[in-house]
């Protein structure tokens, strides 16, 4: 029983990070109908940059954020304007996956060349301690990860709902042509949408560096996990992705403590295939998901 | 034109058969065999990707399963390799039918996601099932030709892969000229319209998926017998799957010889990178950059440039207009 509670708690804490990362993917899909396979690769790029900042200057990994977040925003705008927007629209879905897949390979190769293929990790003294609540151990690093992810998601939602840019972004997601008709500069907004998406990857990368060791090829596992999350949630649904992230995080946590790590990761794919068989549009998918 | 292309094909075939005798050393025979293996695999990939437009990044799953199936039958059940190879390929094909039924329910980006997930799943299964597969330490498969030295084995496998490539090319050509192939092309152009015109799209897609898995699995089985040791991280790597896609796209997915041409460019380039730069990760960057460039600037491939066939729908708009005028007049 205690073990299950432990798994549940860890699952929720990890699910927060999944939710943050999946929200970025939902944004890309929303503004461009593009599945960004390179998102986890950028995540690991951010993790390695955090590692460099931490080891070179010996500062707290979160101090890398003022550097990486703006840089990744600019990078995201550049990826959208220079690469994704140039694709021919008739086969955008497939070609965009291949394009971003190429970007992911490029990043993985560069990381492997610069940092070598061995494991790297950022360990802080607070990461080794844990909070014990009713027999359940909650490591501080996971709690911090969850808090940072939750805070970033909250800011993201606030921007999407309240700000003028958020309105333009949502209008672009809902109906591109109509948005353009009422004066939204959809091209520019789509670029900023990519920028915001990659900025979430920068935050996620720092958090990731804190909670787990990483090596260049580990982004493939994350592609599978994140893709499963957005398919289960319904492509293009930000709320659906967040809910699916927590659910799958909990399932992973429970299987991890009761069976083993292989089956915990396998659960993502099991849910992916079950969703495709039962409800190909996902469980929270809206109008957007039907054609994909 | 037809005699020219047939003559060219015969010339290429003769050159390919003579290659191991012309190659100055066994390393080049080895590189040749590897290239022919990739050519066979990408031609086979093109049975699905070229006709239906469904891009699978996960065909390395079938490669790995074919390899492990053959290896396990030989090692654990003492089946002769000549039996193990086709049996394992047929088992993989049956498995592909099952996966295909689920996978082709979704289109576009979701299909690509499913194909990536398939590789990761198989990798997990093979690494996790330690008692059967040896887990991450790999599986050792005894050589089918113990009497031959390493170089002669490369030669034998060069011809085996060449035969597989020949069969894959003939199958592609046959499908291309059949009603089945026309149905698959209709799926690529407009799946909903094809379905409303009575093309059994679901069954056709599953059949194409399984057929392309069959040859990839055979290539995997041959690879297992050739290399003699299987590393789950390599045979189930997403990189092998992306090589098939890159080669096909680079050469031209709508052409019989497109994937072959792509393989002739990409595989030797990859080997060259390995020699020139050693075992660094920079070859991933090179592959990624080439893929980005091909997708951005040459999605129809090299052959499309030369044959001057226009990009876009293969049914030209003029003919539809002309038909309308014919009806009106």
Minimal Cα–Cα distance from B172 to chain A, Å? 22
When scoring B111, B117, B119, B283 by the number of chain A Cβ atoms within 10 A, the one with the most, hence best to mutate, is B117
Query: Which chain A residues contact residue B127 at CB under 8 A?
Result: 262
Give the Cα separation of A198 and A25 in Å (integer): 9
Q: How far is CA B163 from CA A195, B167, B245, in A?
A: 50, 6, 22
Q: What is the pLDDT of residue A125?
A: 67
- Counting residues of chain B whose pLDDT is more than 70, the rounded percentage is 92
Q: Do A276 and B105 touch (CB under 8 A)?
A: yes
Task: Please check whether residue B277 touches A, CB under 8 A.
Answer: no
Establish if A132 belongs to a structural domain: no
Query: Is the reported ipTM for this assembly greater than 0.90?
Result: no
Q: Do B295 and A98 touch (CB under 8 A)?
A: yes
Which domains, from first to last, does chain B contain? 2-313 (1.10.3470)
Residue A286 has pLDDT above 80, yes or no: no
Query: Which chain B residues contact residue A280 at CB under 8 A?
Result: 105-106, 110
Q: Give the confidence band of B219 by pLDDT, cuts at 50, 70, 90.
A: very high
Residue A182 has pLDDT above 90, yes or no: no
Q: Do A227 and B108 touch (CB under 8 A)?
A: no
pTM for this entry? 0.85
Cβ atoms of residues A60 and A46 within 8 Å: no
Give the Cα separation of A261 and A180 in Å (integer): 48
Establish if A285 belongs to a structural domain: yes
Q: How many CB atoms lie within 10 A of CB A135?
A: 10
Structural domain of A225: 2-117+152-291
Residue A96 has pLDDT above 80, yes or no: yes
Higher pLDDT among residues A202 and B108, named by residue: A202
Give the Cα separation of A177 and A171 in Å (integer): 9
For chain A, how many structural domains are there in total?
1
Higher pLDDT among residues B268 and A125, named by residue: B268
Q: What is the pLDDT of residue A117?
A: 73
List the end-to-end C-alpha distance of chain A, in Å, as a whole number. 41
Among A90, A95, A231, select the one facing B113 at the smallest CB separation: A231
Among B57, B127, B284, select the one facing A112 at the smallest CB separation: B284
Residue B93 has pLDDT above 70, yes or no: yes
| Both structure tokens of A205 | 């990368």
Minimal Cα–Cα distance from B39 to chain A, Å? 20
Q: How many CB atoms lie within 10 A of CB A154?
A: 10
CATH number assigned to the domain comprising residue A43: 1.10.3470
> What does the mean pLDDT of chain B come to?
83
Establish if A201 belongs to a structural domain: yes
Among A35, A91, A110, select the one facing B113 at the smallest CB separation: A35
Q: Do B107 and A292 touch (CB under 8 A)?
A: yes
């Amino acid at each position: 029983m205690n073990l299950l509670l432990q798994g549940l708690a860890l699952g929720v804490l990890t699910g927060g990070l999944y939710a943050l990362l999946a929200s970025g993917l939902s944004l890309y899909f929303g503004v461009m109908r593009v599945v960004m396979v390179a998102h986890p690769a950028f995540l690991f790029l951010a993790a390695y940059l955090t590692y460099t900042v931490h080891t070179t200057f010996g500062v707290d990994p979160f101090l890398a954020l003022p550097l990486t977040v703006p840089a990744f925003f600019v990078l995201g705008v550049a990826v959208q304007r220079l690469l994704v927007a140039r694709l021919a629209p008739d086969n955008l879905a497939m070609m965009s996956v291949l394009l971003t897949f190429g970007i992911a390979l490029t990043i993985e190769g560069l990381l492997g060349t610069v940092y070598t293929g061995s494991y790297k990790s950022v360990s802080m003294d607070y990461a080794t301690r844990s909070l014990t609540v009713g027999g359940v151990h909650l490591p501080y690093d996971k709690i911090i990860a969850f808090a940072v992810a939750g805070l970033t998601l909250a800011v993201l939602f606030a921007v999407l709902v309240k700000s003028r840019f958020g309105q333009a972004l949502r209008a672009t997601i809902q109906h591109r042509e109509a948005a353009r008709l009422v004066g939204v500069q959809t091209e520019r907004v789509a670029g900023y949408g990519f920028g915001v998406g990659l900025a979430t990857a920068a935050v996620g990368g720092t958090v990731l560096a804190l909670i787990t060791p990483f090596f260049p090829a580990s982004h493939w596992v994350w592609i599978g996990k994140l893709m499963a999350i957005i398919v289960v949630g319904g492509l293009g649904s930000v709320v659906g992705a967040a809910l699916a992230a927590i659910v799958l995080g909990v399932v992973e946590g429970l299987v991890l403590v009761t069976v083993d790590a292989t089956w915990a990761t396998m659960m993502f794919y099991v849910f992916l295939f079950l969703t495709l068989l039962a409800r190909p549009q996902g469980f929270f998918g809206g109008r957007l998901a039907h054609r994909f | 034109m037809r005699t020219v292309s047939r003559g060219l094909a015969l010339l290429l075939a003769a050159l390919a058969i003579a290659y191991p005798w012309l190659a100055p050393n066994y390393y080049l025979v080895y590189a040749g065999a590897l290239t022919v293996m990739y050519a066979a695999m990408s031609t086979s990939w093109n049975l699905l990707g070229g006709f239906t437009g469904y891009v699978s990044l996960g065909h390395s799953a079938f490669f790995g399963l074919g390899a492990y199936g053959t290896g396990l039958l030989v090692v654990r059940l003492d089946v002769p390799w000549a039996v193990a190879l086709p049996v394992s390929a047929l088992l993989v094909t049956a498995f592909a039918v099952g996966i295909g039924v689920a996978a082709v329910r979704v289109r576009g980006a979701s299909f690509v996601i499913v194909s990536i997930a398939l590789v990761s799943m198989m990798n997990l299964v093979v690494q996790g099932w330690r008692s059967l597969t040896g887990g991450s330490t790999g599986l050792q498969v005894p050589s089918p030709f113990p009497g031959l030295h390493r170089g002669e084995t490369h030669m034998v496998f060069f011809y085996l892969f060449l035969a597989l490539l020949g069969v894959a090319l003939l199958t592609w050509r046959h499908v291309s000229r059949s009603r089945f192939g026309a149905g698959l092309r209709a799926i690529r152009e407009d799946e909903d319209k094809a379905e409303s015109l009575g093309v059994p799209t679901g069954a056709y897609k599953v059949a194409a998926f399984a057929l392309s898995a069959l040859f990839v699995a055979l290539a995997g089985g041959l690879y297992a017998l050739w290399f003699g040791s299987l590393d789950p991280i390599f045979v189930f790597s997403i990189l092998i799957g992306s090589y098939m896609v890159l080669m096909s796209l680079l050469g031209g997915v709508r052409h019989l010889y497109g994937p072959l041409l792509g393989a002739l460019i990409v595989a030797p380039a990859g080997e060259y990178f390995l020699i020139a730069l050693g075992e660094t990760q920079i070859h991933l960057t090179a592959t990624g950059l080439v893929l980005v460039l091909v997708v951005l600037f040459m999605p129809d491939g090299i052959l499309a440039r030369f044959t001057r066939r226009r990009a876009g729908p293969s049914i030209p708009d003029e003919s539809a207009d002309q038909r309308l005028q014919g009806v009106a007049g």
